[in-house]
Chains A and B, each alone.
Chain A
Protein backbone atom coordinates (compact mmCIF):
# COMPACT_ATOMS: atom_id res chain seq x y z
CA UNK A 1 0.00 0.00 0.00
CA UNK A 2 3.01 2.27 0.15
CA UNK A 3 4.39 4.23 -2.78
CA UNK A 4 1.00 5.22 -4.20
CA UNK A 5 1.69 8.68 -5.40
CA UNK A 6 1.33 10.38 -8.79
CA UNK A 7 0.32 8.26 -11.82
CA UNK A 8 -0.30 9.59 -15.34
CA UNK A 9 -3.70 9.29 -17.00
CA UNK A 10 -5.14 10.41 -20.35
CA UNK A 11 -8.64 10.65 -21.84
CA UNK A 12 -10.46 12.19 -24.77
CA UNK A 13 -12.02 15.62 -24.03
CA UNK A 14 -15.83 15.83 -24.05
CA UNK A 15 -17.77 18.32 -26.15
CA UNK A 16 -18.15 21.44 -23.93
CA UNK A 17 -21.72 21.82 -25.20
CA UNK A 18 -22.61 18.44 -23.77
CA UNK A 19 -20.91 19.19 -20.47
CA UNK A 20 -22.91 22.39 -20.05
CA UNK A 21 -26.10 20.34 -20.04
CA UNK A 22 -24.90 18.08 -17.25
CA UNK A 23 -24.54 18.49 -13.48
CA UNK A 24 -20.88 19.48 -13.17
CA UNK A 25 -20.43 18.14 -9.64
CA UNK A 26 -22.06 14.82 -10.40
CA UNK A 27 -20.15 14.36 -13.65
CA UNK A 28 -16.89 15.08 -11.83
CA UNK A 29 -17.82 12.66 -9.05
CA UNK A 30 -18.88 9.88 -11.43
CA UNK A 31 -15.82 10.37 -13.59
CA UNK A 32 -13.54 10.28 -10.57
CA UNK A 33 -15.13 7.07 -9.32
CA UNK A 34 -14.70 5.36 -12.70
CA UNK A 35 -11.04 6.35 -12.89
CA UNK A 36 -10.28 5.60 -9.24
CA UNK A 37 -11.88 2.15 -9.20
CA UNK A 38 -10.08 1.23 -12.41
CA UNK A 39 -6.83 2.49 -10.94
CA UNK A 40 -6.98 0.47 -7.72
CA UNK A 41 -7.95 -2.61 -9.70
CA UNK A 42 -5.06 -2.19 -12.13
CA UNK A 43 -2.64 -1.36 -9.34
CA UNK A 44 -3.34 -4.19 -6.90
CA UNK A 45 -6.24 -6.28 -8.15
CA UNK A 46 -8.86 -4.72 -5.89
CA UNK A 47 -12.41 -5.44 -7.03
CA UNK A 48 -15.59 -3.71 -5.93
CA UNK A 49 -17.54 -5.51 -3.23
CA UNK A 50 -20.25 -2.87 -2.78
CA UNK A 51 -20.97 0.82 -2.28
CA UNK A 52 -20.97 2.05 1.32
CA UNK A 53 -23.40 4.54 2.84
CA UNK A 54 -22.12 8.04 3.61
CA UNK A 55 -22.02 7.36 7.34
CA UNK A 56 -19.31 4.76 6.77
CA UNK A 57 -16.89 7.57 5.82
CA UNK A 58 -15.95 5.84 2.57
CA UNK A 59 -17.59 5.35 -0.82
CA UNK A 60 -16.65 1.79 -1.68
CA UNK A 61 -15.78 -1.51 -0.03
CA UNK A 62 -13.29 -3.43 -2.16
CA UNK A 63 -11.67 -6.85 -1.86
CA UNK A 64 -8.63 -8.74 -3.03
CA UNK A 65 -6.59 -11.65 -1.72
CA UNK A 66 -5.12 -9.36 0.96
CA UNK A 67 -8.53 -8.64 2.50
CA UNK A 68 -10.91 -5.70 2.33
CA UNK A 69 -10.36 -2.01 1.71
CA UNK A 70 -12.55 1.06 2.20
CA UNK A 71 -12.01 3.62 -0.55
CA UNK A 72 -13.05 7.27 -0.46
CA UNK A 73 -13.05 8.91 -3.90
CA UNK A 74 -13.18 12.53 -4.93
CA UNK A 75 -12.69 14.46 -8.14
CA UNK A 76 -11.59 18.01 -8.81
CA UNK A 77 -12.63 19.80 -11.99
CA UNK A 78 -10.29 22.63 -10.98
CA UNK A 79 -8.20 23.58 -7.99
CA UNK A 80 -5.67 21.74 -5.87
CA UNK A 81 -6.13 17.95 -5.83
CA UNK A 82 -3.38 17.55 -3.24
CA UNK A 83 -5.33 19.61 -0.72
CA UNK A 84 -8.42 17.55 -1.46
CA UNK A 85 -6.43 14.36 -0.90
CA UNK A 86 -5.56 15.46 2.63
CA UNK A 87 -9.22 16.18 3.29
CA UNK A 88 -10.29 12.78 1.96
CA UNK A 89 -7.59 10.95 3.89
CA UNK A 90 -8.91 12.52 7.08
CA UNK A 91 -12.41 11.44 6.11
CA UNK A 92 -11.57 7.81 5.37
CA UNK A 93 -9.46 7.67 8.53
CA UNK A 94 -12.78 7.95 10.39
CA UNK A 95 -14.01 4.70 8.81
CA UNK A 96 -14.09 2.33 11.77
CA UNK A 97 -14.21 -0.91 9.79
CA UNK A 98 -11.20 -3.20 10.35
CA UNK A 99 -10.02 -2.86 6.75
CA UNK A 100 -7.33 -1.10 4.71
CA UNK A 101 -8.32 2.49 4.04
CA UNK A 102 -7.46 4.52 0.97
CA UNK A 103 -8.34 7.96 -0.38
CA UNK A 104 -8.15 8.64 -4.11
CA UNK A 105 -8.49 12.03 -5.77
CA UNK A 106 -8.77 12.37 -9.53
CA UNK A 107 -7.83 15.75 -10.96
CA UNK A 108 -9.40 16.65 -14.29
CA UNK A 109 -7.97 20.13 -14.94
CA UNK A 110 -4.44 18.82 -15.05
CA UNK A 111 -5.14 15.10 -15.39
CA UNK A 112 -3.80 13.23 -12.39
CA UNK A 113 -4.58 10.56 -9.81
CA UNK A 114 -3.46 11.04 -6.23
CA UNK A 115 -3.86 8.24 -3.73
CA UNK A 116 -2.92 7.82 -0.12
CA UNK A 117 -3.58 5.16 2.48
CA UNK A 118 -4.20 5.84 6.16
Chain B
Protein backbone atom coordinates (compact mmCIF):
# COMPACT_ATOMS: atom_id res chain seq x y z
CA UNK B 1 0.00 0.00 0.00
CA UNK B 2 1.25 3.51 -0.75
CA UNK B 3 1.65 6.08 1.98
CA UNK B 4 -1.15 8.11 0.39
CA UNK B 5 -3.54 5.14 0.40
CA UNK B 6 -2.66 4.43 4.05
CA UNK B 7 -3.36 8.03 5.07
CA UNK B 8 -6.68 8.00 3.20
CA UNK B 9 -7.62 4.66 4.75
CA UNK B 10 -7.31 6.33 8.15
CA UNK B 11 -9.69 9.00 6.87
CA UNK B 12 -6.99 11.65 7.08
CA UNK B 13 -6.21 14.33 4.53
CA UNK B 14 -2.92 13.68 2.71
CA UNK B 15 -2.45 17.45 2.26
CA UNK B 16 -2.32 17.86 6.01
CA UNK B 17 -0.08 14.90 6.86
CA UNK B 18 3.62 14.17 6.54
CA UNK B 19 4.68 10.52 6.47
CA UNK B 20 7.84 9.34 8.21
CA UNK B 21 8.94 5.82 7.28
CA UNK B 22 11.71 4.26 9.35
CA UNK B 23 12.77 7.71 10.49
CA UNK B 24 12.82 9.26 7.01
CA UNK B 25 10.37 11.74 5.53
CA UNK B 26 8.91 10.17 2.37
CA UNK B 27 6.59 11.22 -0.45
CA UNK B 28 3.09 9.79 -0.55
CA UNK B 29 3.71 7.45 -3.49
CA UNK B 30 6.17 5.47 -1.31
CA UNK B 31 5.22 1.81 -0.84
CA UNK B 32 4.90 0.85 2.79
CA UNK B 33 5.89 -2.66 3.86
CA UNK B 34 4.61 -4.62 6.86
CA UNK B 35 7.89 -4.28 8.70
CA UNK B 36 8.11 -0.53 8.25
CA UNK B 37 7.74 1.76 11.21
CA UNK B 38 5.47 4.58 10.09
CA UNK B 39 4.77 7.82 11.86
CA UNK B 40 2.23 10.38 10.68
CA UNK B 41 2.72 14.04 11.50
CA UNK B 42 -0.22 16.42 11.32
CA UNK B 43 0.90 19.76 9.93
CA UNK B 44 -2.12 21.98 10.58
CA UNK B 45 -1.74 24.33 13.47
CA UNK B 46 -2.87 27.64 14.72
CA UNK B 47 -5.90 29.09 16.29
CA UNK B 48 -6.87 32.69 16.06
CA UNK B 49 -4.07 33.82 18.33
CA UNK B 50 -1.49 33.84 15.58
CA UNK B 51 -3.80 34.24 12.66
CA UNK B 52 -5.71 37.34 13.55
CA UNK B 53 -4.92 39.97 10.92
CA UNK B 54 -2.15 41.97 12.53
CA UNK B 55 -1.55 45.64 12.68
CA UNK B 56 -5.05 46.77 11.82
CA UNK B 57 -5.85 49.86 13.80
CA UNK B 58 -9.57 49.77 13.56
CA UNK B 59 -11.96 52.57 14.06
CA UNK B 60 -14.08 52.13 17.12
Same complex for A and B? Answer no
